[in-house]
Amino acid sequence: MNQSSLREINLPDNYRLRRASLKGRTAAILVVFSLIMQALSQEPANLGWLAWFCLAPWAIAAATYASRIRGTLLFYGSALIYFLIILRWLIPVTSAGWLGLCLYLAVYYLACGFIIRKIYLKKRWPLTLVLPVLWSGQEYLRSVVMTGFPWFFLSHSQHNNLPLIQIADMTGTYGITFILAMTNGLICDFLLRPLNTPQENGKSKPLSPFRLTAITFTCILVVFGYGQIRLNQIHKTNETGPTLTMIQDNVPQSNKPEFNDPTVNQWDTLFNSHLELTRMAMENETKPDLIVWPETMAPYLNEEFLNFTLPGYDITDILATIDTHRRYDKLLSQTAKEGVGLLIGTPHFEYAIHNGYLVPGKQANAAMLYLPDGSRYSETYWKMHLVPFGETIPFKYSIPWLYRLLMRFTPYEYDYSVESGKTPTLFTFKTPKGLELRFAVAICYEDVIPYMPRKLIQIEDGEKKADFLLNISNDGWYLKSGLDGKPLQALAEIPQHLAICRFRAIENRIGIARAVNGGISAFIQPDGSLQATPLAGTLPEDPWHRSSQRGFLTDTIHTNPTISFYSIYGDLFGISTAILSAFFLFMPLMHRGKKNSHS
């Protein structure tokens, strides 16, 4: 090799003199390649190994792209297209919400790219440490800002890597993302930093990629070691809980009665289908202690609706509907009297009088329990975390014109907003065998919001008030009708929903059972593993094959007395990374201000 070639390889020792600079086409290729790998790392492709390096091309392009203005367009535009594609399953629910959410989520990618570029140009800080802080911080913000949408986190790609993800009981999912982003940052540093560590103008030496490698692999080994220890501990402390049956119908939302209309007659078909599956489960040799129906799969059963009477008004049709729903209530009560608890997902509906007219009153998404003696539990749980656009239309009172505009893009012609619950509900009862059940219910997406299960299980005096958690959900929105009479097809949301729920079990060391219309119903152990061989049922043994299936699933749920660090302190790790990310964001401005003050 000649001397000129050596000079080209031996880049300047001064860190600031050796900054790389990419042109538009190269940067665009790196960004697109990175986003494709990010998408493939998640369900349903589930190529989780890509997460260990899928961020690196994106981060390199962000740090080295020469044009600031074009870079803004590239990083925001590519992120917007990325989210529009991977979240396209939201379109059947709300096209306006899908577009608005994607426009919002793309901002996080733009902000991270801006910070990385400024740090690369102004500081010697290694991306091995900067990138994990930024990515964990933005994921935390995505989980809480505007009620939160914690989807497509880097950590979610590892839901099958049980030793790695046990750290979630301390850091939440953000610690897992931190480790994955460290390896991505390390790749960036090997390509962007000098391999030697020369001293620059009397200043301290920067960390070389070799030292950063030692730090990264030490962290990985610690996390895997911790995970293996925790798996052994959890397996020893797990206890066998009650026997539960999860009912799973396969009804697309297009065939389901509308949430806010108590007069429709389609409830008969839906109710009878679930009652049939319930009878099948009860006639099986394995007798359940509790049978669980998915979200909103039963009609209006609350006392305010069933006991409504209004003399002097011509409400014959309404009273006829109420009589039908009273029949449903009686059937459920009679079924429960055979010695089983029935947890029912049902809309809560009330009538009210306004200016002398009969109008709909309070409406809520609720869970109701029928006890083994046929009576109802004294409390009904109202869903606390409402999904924007899916269950409530924002800006109704604050920005009326925007509210009216958004209403045009919703799936209904009327305001279908429901009221949120204020407090969690602890359901508790004793079976005829004397076994006590204590559990909480997460409705719909409450199981993907990290802070919700922690709130629902209620840690008090060093103990969990709930022994296990139930998730009831209606994922019929994400069932696509097959062509030419072919079976229904499940959209990507359905396996993604299950993958995310697994982290809630680890964070709080609690068993979770899911009853989901359209799938995937499953039992999740406190270590995040899926129970693959149920005691009884008609659904496939492999949980990942249960989407777009109709049947039931009977198994024992595992409980665990362990109180995790996360259950006590919550998102302390995520908050810390978000604060550091804010510092990184404002650091360039502070640097510029100091420079101007000395000029």
- 16-68: per-residue pLDDT in tens? 544 566 667 888 899 999 999 999 999 999 999 999 999 999 999 998 887 77
Q: What are phi and psi of 537, to 5 degrees?
A: 140, 170
Tell me: pLDDT of 485 over 60: no
What's the rounded Cα separation, in Å, for the pair 71 and 89? 29
| Residue for token pair 């014109």 | 401
pLDDT at 233: 95
- Give pLDDT tens digits for 102-116: 999 999 999 999 999
Residues forming beta bridges with residue 428, ordered by sequence position: 438
What pLDDT band is residue 309 in, cutting at 50, 70 and 90?
confident
- Give how far Cα 544 sits from Cα of 175, 496, 550, Å: 26, 11, 14
Q: Are 559 and 241 in contact (CB under 8 A)?
A: yes
Calculate ∠ Cα 408-414-415, nearest 5°: 90
Instruction: Give every CB contact of residue 226 below 8 A, 6+ residues apart in sequence.
Output: 166, 167
Averaged pLDDT, 501-510 = 96
* Cα–Cα separations (whole angstroms), residue 398 to 145, 257, 403, 404, 480: 18, 31, 9, 12, 36
Chain centroid to Cα 467, Å, comes to 21
Q: 9 pLDDT exceeds 50? A: no
Residue 163 has pLDDT above 60, yes or no: yes
Residue with tokens 């490698």: 213
DSSP single-letter state for residue 156: G
- Residue 466 pLDDT more than 50? yes
DSSP for 98-110, please give it.
HHHHHHHHHHHHH
Burial tier of 201 (Cβ tally within 10 Å: 0-12, 13-18, 19+)? exposed
Tell which residue, 165, 171, 173, has the closest CA to residue 565: 171
* 391-439 pLDDT tens trace: 666 666 666 776 677 666 665 555 667 788 889 999 999 988 888 999 9
Which two structure tokens, joined as six digits, stand for 479?
A: 């069932």
